[in-house]
Structure formats: structure tokens, C-alpha cells
Amino acid sequence: MTNRFAKNPPFFPRAVAAIAAGLLVAGPRNASADPAPAGAICSVFERSAGAVVKIYGPRAGREHGYGTGVVVSSDGKIVTTLSLLVSMRGVQVVLDDGQRRNARLVQSDEGRQLALLQIDAQGLDYLTPGESAHLQQGDTVVAIGNWFKIAEGDERASINRGILSLRTTLQAKRLAQEFVYAGPVLVYDGITANPGASGGPLLDLDGRFVGLIGKIAESVNTNTRINYAIPGEEIIAFLGQTSQPETSDRRRDERPATSHGKPYLGIKLAGLGYRHVSAFVERVQPDSPAAEAGVRPDDLILAIGNSRVSDADEYQKLVARLIPGERVSFVVKRGEELIALELEVASKP
């Protein structure tokens, strides 16, 4: 293949021209095809980049003083990852057109590692988070963010491409600290584990906002960084926490940030001293959500919501993602009987 042109070099430019022409003709025909549809990623970028913002704040220790966020409402709500950056005073947001706004934290979720900022603005471009369940391994995904703060002012954020590698949970650490996010993640082969990327959107080729780029985390097994996003389902649930009808209270924006405590059910599982142990209930706290729903000792927990519980570890992870106040279904096995229960999640006392 490579010798062909070396032997017949005069034909080389013509060969290139012919292929070039062929491609141009082929362009529209490929418009909908995965994996290299001409212009598909350009179109996703054009439709989405207007809702991507650059976030700047004070530097603190090894925290970078910058990140990315996604506008999720025309009146200035911005979702991003929860970090020291957005928890401190003096956070500023630079919109896609270069306008700079002060931002304040109005909602945060420690378990999901998500934060909601509010800026004073109207008529903004925004993205609506969507579910990620339709994504299959191998689907092309793109991530937009201001990694390394390469873009400034009205310069547009960066876009990287990858394919969905797998949906999993992470055994990870963050710098030398614990990695608190226990929920599901979308892992892809595009590189986003860089300073400033977290909080940017992960999009599919139809432009659906299917995830939020997570904070830099390293695998505890390999010490290498993981490129991942928190799935859209988590963002939807997070935003749903405030979806009660808005009051006419004009001072509502001045309320302190709402913060959710750790979820509490009142169940203690049986521990047998080794790791993969089934989720048998050992004790139920009186007056707890579990007691009220009728959970009993020796019940085997099989499912929480739509997720199967195969062992105690998984039970802990699933419970960690529950939000105080939400109702969640349980399936337990009692003797030979399967029983469906509904619990109302409380906050840890």
C-alpha cells in the first residue's frame, strides 16, 4: 500500500484529489451514520456550547480555581460538580458570549457530588438533562469543558470525543482523599480527567445532555485517572429535589443553600466478616423508615428501586444515593415469599 505511490509518484496528487472529491460527494449520504458522520459533532457543539459556562473561584490547596458548568434554565440555573470551588464566596461565571456574572450556590448534593448555582440572567441558552439509559457501549459521546482554562472570555470551550466504554461504579480516590461518589458512572475513552473539565456536559450524537463530567479521580487499583461522567438520571433526580412549584416569594433566591443530609433508613445488615455477603437485615431501628414500612430482621433485600442488590456492598452504595424525602421501593425475600415495600427516606439523625 505504501509503496504504490512511491513507485508511481506522479499519480499521487491526482489520487488525493479524486478521493477528496469522492468524500465531498459522499458527505451528505453519511449525515446520520455513527461513527464518523460528517458534521454531526460540529452540529452537537453548535447546539450545545452556548449553554456551557466557565466557572472561576478562589484557589484552595490543590483545588483548581476554575471549572465548567451547564446552564439548565433560561433564568440562570447552572449545574456543576460539587467542589470547594463552588462552595466558597466570590464564584464567578463567564457565559459563552463572554459576559461575567457572580454566582451563588443554591443547592448541593454531597452523595451525587452535584451543585446548583444561580446567576442573575434571563433568556439564556440552556440544556435539559436527559437519561443515559439508551446509550450502548461503543456509542460516540462528546464532552465540552474548559480544561486547562484554554478558552478565555468569549472563546468557546473545548470539545473532546470518545465512545462509551462502560457503565459502572468506581473504586476510586481523589488525590489522597476518599472518593465520595458511589453512584453509577459513564466511563468513556475520550480524555477529560484534566483540571477544569468537571461540570461540563457529556452529550450523545443527537445532542442529548446525558451526563456531567466528574471530578478528577484515580482508580484505586491502577492509580490512573478515570474519564467518566455522572449520568443524566442523577442530574434529573438532583434537579428534581427543587422542582416543587415555585413560590411567589421574591426573596426566594436569598434563602440559604439547601443541603441534604445523609439518607437514613434504619436498617442494619448482618455482617459475617467477609466481603461479598448477602444483604440480610440484622436489626431494624424502631420508629425508622424501615420499621414503618414493615422491614423485619432476617429479610433478604433483593432490590432497591430498579436496581438489583446482589450483596451488602451494593446495598450500601445504593442507599448512599437515596435522597432524604424521596419514596423508594424495596423487594425483600422473607422465607419463600417475595415482598414489595415502600420506604420514605429520612435524614440521618
Partner 1 sequence: MVAVHLAIAAALITAAPQGRDSDVGELARVLAVESDRVRVIEAVTPAAVCVFSKERHAGGGSGVIIDPRGYGLTNFHVIAGMLKDRVGDAGLADGTLNEFEVLGIDPGGDVAMFKLRGEKVWPAASLGDSETLRQGDYVLALGNPFGLADDFTPAVTLGIVSGLHRYQAGVKGALTYTDCIQVDASINPGNSGGPLFDLAGRVIGINGRIAIEERERVNVGVGFSISINQIKRFIPALRAGIATPHASAGFTVADRDRRVIIDNVKDGSIAEQAGIRAGDELLRFAGRDVSSANQFLSALGAFPGGWTVEVVHRRGRHVEKKTMRLDPQALPDFSGGARGGKKARFNPYAPHSITRAANRRAVRRAFDRYHAFLGGEETVAAIESIHGTGKRTLATDPTGEPASVLCNLDVAAEPSPAKAQSPADTELAIRRMLLSTTDDPARSGFKVVGADEVQGRIAVLLEQNTKDGPPLRLAFDDEDGALLRISFDFHAVGKDVSFEYGDERRAGPLRLPHIRRMYVDGVLYAEDSFERIVVTQKAP
DSSP result, 270-336 = ---SSSS---BEEEE-TTSHHHHHT--TTPEEEEETTEE--SHHHHHHHHHT--TT-EEEEEEEETT
What does the DSSP 8-state code read for residue 90? -
Q: Which of 37, 50, 65, 324 binds partner 1 (CB under 8 A)?
A: 37
Give the footprint of partner 1 on residues 291-310 (CB under 8 A). Answer: 294, 302-303, 306-308
Stretch in the footprint of partner 1 (CB under 8 A) among 65-73, 188-196, 257-265, 317-325: 188-196
Q: Does 57 bind partner 1 (CB under 8 A)?
A: no
Task: Provide the minimum distance between the beta carbon of 347 and partner 1 in the complex, in angstroms, as a whole number.
Answer: 25
Q: In whole angstroms, what is the distance from residue 132 CA to residue 31 CA?
A: 23
Q: Does 147 bind partner 1 (CB under 8 A)?
A: yes
| Phi-psi group of 238: left, alpha or beta (phi > 0 → left; psi -120 to 50 → alpha; rest → beta) | alpha
Task: Provide the minimum distance between the beta carbon of 59 and partner 1 in the complex, in angstroms, as a whole number.
Answer: 14
Q: Does 190 bind partner 1 (CB under 8 A)?
A: yes
Nearer to partner 1, 32 or 168 (CB): 32
Binding string, residues 110-139; x marks residues near partner 1 by CB under 8 A? -----------------------xx-x---
Q: Does 158 bind partner 1 (CB under 8 A)?
A: yes
Stretch in the footprint of partner 1 (CB under 8 A) among 35-43, 119-127, 229-237, 318-326: 35-43
Burial class of residue 95 in the structure, from the number of CB atoms within 10 Å of its CB (0-12 exposed, 13-18 middle, 19+ buried): buried
Nearer to partner 1, 104 or 149 (CB): 149
Q: In whole angstroms, what is the distance from residue 62 CA to residue 84 CA?
A: 10
With CB under 8 A as the rule, give the number of residues binding partner 1. Answer: 75
Q: How far is CA 274 from CA 5, 270, 302, 310, 312, in A?
A: 65, 11, 19, 15, 10
Nearer to partner 1, 124 or 309 (CB): 309
Q: How far is CA 307 from CA 21, 102, 184, 193, 303, in A?
A: 51, 40, 11, 28, 6
Asked if 167 and 186 count as a contact pair (C-beta separation under 8 A), the reply is yes
Give the footprint of partner 1 on residues 324-343 (CB under 8 A). Answer: 331, 337-341
Q: How far is CA 247 from CA 120, 244, 255, 284, 293, in A?
A: 18, 9, 12, 38, 32
Asked if 283 and 249 count as a contact pair (C-beta separation under 8 A), the reply is no
Give the footprint of partner 1 on residues 12-31 (CB under 8 A). Answer: 12-13, 15-17, 19-20, 22-24, 26, 29-30
Q: Does 45 bind partner 1 (CB under 8 A)?
A: yes
Binding string, residues 227-266; x marks residues near partner 1 by CB under 8 A? ----------------------------------------
Q: Does 272 bind partner 1 (CB under 8 A)?
A: no
Q: Does 176 bind partner 1 (CB under 8 A)?
A: no
